[in-house]
Amino acid sequence: MERKILIIDNEKDLVDTLTTVFKQHKFRVFTTNDGDKGLEIARKEKVDLVLLAVELPKKNGYLVCKDFKVDPELKKIPVILTSRKATEADFAKHRKLKVRADEYLKKPFTDEELFSKIENLIGFSLSDDEFGRLQQQIHDFLEEKVNLESEIEEKSRQLVELENRINQLFNENEQLKKELEEKNNELESIKEKYEEEIELLRQEKEHLQSQLKLERENYEKMSQEALENFREKLKQEKENLKKEFEKEKRKLEEENAGLKEEIEKLEEEKKDLNERITGLEKQLKDREGEVNELKSKISSLSEELDKVREESLLTENNLKEQISELEEKVSVLESEKMAINNQLQAVLSENEQLKEDLKKEKGKRERLEEDISRLKGELDTEKKEHEKAVKELNKELATYKKFREVIEKALKAFEK
């Protein structure tokens, strides 16, 4: 007659192992992890024995055991109560109750303990050979289960490490993206800054060029006007000097004419005196005093004539001094003209210096643009390498997932 065993337990691996073993020995096995469903199965199938675990997801095993023992139809079914957390003291307390179980087993239990309890309750017995084979099968199965669990644990650990690595790479990718955005923003700000500086330099250059042009025009206009004014002034001064010279010349001519007239008069007087002397030679002896007076008079007149001549010479010297002063003024004006020319040369040299500075700034801008291009190339290269590393990790993850699926399929096939 086929024996029926009901297993009410939440540990799937243990349930599968026990099911396999019981089926090999012609037991019909029913399993569930719910106490109420277990009661229904026991009532419907008329099971011979119940293997009941304390740790269940809904109602615990102590309450399910009570339901079995208070039910008139089910109370005669033997119940073996198992637990992983309960102690012998807990089992001892439960044995004192009227709704106690028939046997108690502390997990993990051995094969001998389990089959010994079953034999005591429902008269099940095995030969030594069958019991040895069953024990060896259970031992091999449990050992293989431990190996698979350790392998699964190792694969899970590798999966966790791989996930951590992926998360780390993802974080590094986000960090690189952030740094890339910061670099791009920094480069954009540097570019905008240099563009603003270049624009300011261009505006300053245009301003300087317009100012230089205006100054050059003003200078040309001023220099032309100044030269015209200087020429006009020089011409006017020349005319004034000419007029003064003519005036002085006329004055001197008038004075010379007066002196000539006086000399002519004196000559006439001299002639008269000579005539008188000739006429009075006979009276020379008598009029020596008069002759001496006339000589003294002639001497004084000669002195006056010398004075007049000296005054004429002084007038000529004054004219020469005025001419020399005018020449000095002309030389001063020439020096001023040279100074203005020097200023113009300085302005032109400053313009050339500004052009050279502008060329240098253009060179700096070109170098900066080259640096920006180089940095962008490096960032693109790093981005491509990072994307390549992420793709490789994704491939590794896919390979690992496939491997995990193969392991899970193998475990399921082994369990079946």
Position 133 confidence tier, pLDDT thresholds 50, 70, 90: low
User: 189 and 98, same structural domain?
Assistant: no
Same-domain pairing of 249 and 106: no
Query: In the chain, what percentage of residues exceed pLDDT 90?
Result: 22
Are the beta carbons of 92 and 85 closer than 8 angstroms?
Answer: no
Report if residue 151 sits inside a domain.
no
333 shares its domain with 215: yes
**Axis-axis angle for helices 128-279, 288-415 (nearest 10):** 170
Q: Is the Cβ–Cβ distance between 160 and 136 less than 8 Å?
A: no
CATH of the domain at 91: 3.40.50.2300
The answer as to whether 157 is a domain residue is no
Range of the domain at 252: 183-406
The Cα 238–Cα 313 span in angstroms is 23
- Please indicate, yes or no, whether residues 294 and 216 belong to a single structural domain of this protein: yes
Task: Give Cα 300 distance to the centre of its chain.
Answer: 109
Q: Could you give the CA distance from residue 61 to residue 52 in angstroms, rounded to a whole number?
A: 6
Report if residue 176 sits inside a domain: no
Q: What tokens were used for 67?
A: 């339901």
Question: Are 278 and 373 within one domain?
Answer: yes
81: which residues sit within 8 A by CB, 6+ positions away? 52, 53, 54, 61, 62, 65, 91, 94, 101, 103, 104, 105
**354 has a pLDDT exceeding 80:** no
315 and 252 Cβ atoms separated by less than 8 Å: yes
Residues 295 and 376 in one domain: yes
In angstroms, the CA 246 to CA 169 distance is 109
Instruction: Identify the domain boundary among 125, 141, 170.
Output: 125
**Is 144 among the domain residues?**
no
- For residue 292, tell me if it sits in a domain: yes
Same domain, 188 and 121: no
Is 70 exceeded by the pLDDT of residue 246? yes
pLDDT digits (tens, 9 = 90+) for 361-412: 778 778 877 877 787 788 788 778 878 877 887 787 788 678 778 877 877 7
**What would the pLDDT profile of 287-313 be if each residue is shown by its tens digit?**
667 657 767 776 777 687 677 667 656
User: Where is the domain boundary, 109, 125, 141?
Assistant: 125
The tally of domains found in the chain comes to 2
Bigger pLDDT: 151 or 135?
Answer: 151
Reading the block at residue 8, the tokens are: 């009410």
pLDDT at 67 over 80: yes
- Using alpha carbons, select from 213, 186, 202 the residue that is nearest to residue 361: 202
Predicted pLDDT of residue 313: 65
Is pLDDT of 73 > 70? Answer: yes
Residue 328 placed within a domain: yes
Asked if pLDDT for residue 138 goes beyond 60, the answer is no
Q: Are residues 198 and 286 in the same domain?
A: yes
Q: Tell me the average pLDDT across 76-89.
A: 92
CB environment 240-277: b (16+ within 10 A), e (fewer): eeeeeeeeeeeebeeeeeebeeeeeebeebeeebeebb
- What pLDDT does residue 348 have? 77
Tell me: pLDDT of 144 over 90. Answer: no
Picking from 68-77, 79-88, 203-212, which range would have the lowest pLDDT averaged per residue? 203-212
pLDDT at 232 (0 to 100) = 81
Q: Using an 8 Å Cβ cutoff, are 7 and 30 in contact?
A: yes
**One domain, residues 358 and 258:** yes
The verdict on residue 147 lying in a domain is: no
Is 170 part of any domain? no
Would you place residue 125 in the very low, low, confident or very high pLDDT band (cuts 50, 70, 90)?
Answer: very low
pLDDT the model gives residue 216: 74
Q: What is the pLDDT of residue 330?
A: 67
Q: Same domain, yes or no, for 118 and 29?
A: yes
Give residue 37's pLDDT band: very low, low, confident or very high (50, 70, 90). very high
Residues 365, 219: one domain?
yes
Domain C-terminal end among 83, 108, 125: 125
- 192 shares its domain with 86: no
| CA–CA distance, 333 with 69 (Å, rounded to integer) | 139
Give the model confidence (pLDDT) of 156-204 as tens digits: 788 888 888 878 888 887 888 888 888 888 878 887 887 888 888 788 8
What is the predicted pLDDT for the residue at 126? 47
pLDDT of residue 279 exceeding 80, the answer is no
Of 130-144, 183-197, 351-365, minimum mean pLDDT range: 130-144
Res 15 pLDDT > 50: yes
The 10s digit of each residue's pLDDT in 254-278 is: 877 776 787 677 678 777 767 776 7
